[in-house]
Amino acid sequence: MQKGTLFLIPVPLAENASQKSFTPFLIDTINALKTYIVENEKSARKFLKEAGIKTPQSELLVHDYGKHKRGNSLVPYFTQLMQGVDVGLMSEAGCPGVADPGAEIVAEAHKRGIKVVPLVGPNSMIQALMSSGFSGQSFTFHGYLPIDKVERAKKIKELEALSAKNKQTQLFMETPFRNNHLLDDVLKNCQPSTQLCIATNINGEDEFIKTLAVAMWKSEKVDLHKKPTVFLLYRS
């Protein structure tokens, strides 16, 4: 029996960003699918409605892959795919599998010989990199930095040194309610001439993206509290 295809479906990064996020192919794809693996069922169904799904929601089979389900068997997520049914994978925001637990589903799909098709859509890391003015030839995304203040300061200095040594852009992030603490630590621990880009609420109505030297950021007043933010460091 021919296996189904796993479609990786990007989700808008911000409220009211739907029209910036959907492509005609994405809309065609969701209207051809009736089975989904999602990080949060409620927000996934809201997204599908905004994207213009014509299939009644009651006819959809939605597998919830939320944080309380991780670590369980992956078999239930693959029953339909192994029977030849195409399935969509969605995260809470942005691209499935990138800084996202959906990577585990994608890895299992490859093990089972299932075709994986990534759709075009918003990605906060790539969009932040595009708009930073930093090297897009060589870059590394580190995810979350250590919570411990001493360890975090050490990591920030390490990333600054790596950037200078490899001419490489360093990207990282923080839980939104700790953004201001992370910014303080970056400003305290980096050289005055190191370049820092702050990209906040990408695609949102209050999107803020700005690149300045660390010394100049010290006189700027920015409040990043509870706002999804990507930080980028570059030292030439």
Q: What is the mean pLDDT of each run of 10 residues along the chain (236 residues)?
A: 95 87 92 94 92 92 78 84 96 88 92 96 95 96 94 97 97 94 97 98 95 96 94 96
């990080």: which residue's tokens?
Answer: 39
Provide the 10 A C-beta neighbour count for residue 46. Answer: 12
pLDDT of the residue at 19: 82
Per-residue pLDDT, 67: 65
Give strand pairing partners of 87: 6
pLDDT for 100: 82
* pLDDT for res 208: 97
- Buried b / exposed e over 8-41, threshold 16 CB at 10 Å, is bbbbbbbeebeeebbeeebeebbeebbbbbbbbe
pLDDT given at position 93? 87
Tokens (6 digits) for 150 = 């001493």
DSSP-assigned letter for residue 153: H
**Does the pTM of the predicted model rise above 0.75?**
yes
The pLDDT assigned to 224 comes to: 95
What pLDDT shows up at residue 71? 62
Beta strand 195-200 with 229-234 is antiparallel
Domains and CATH numbers, the chain: 5-118 (3.40.1010.10), 124-234 (3.30.950.10)
Strand partners, 36: 62, 88
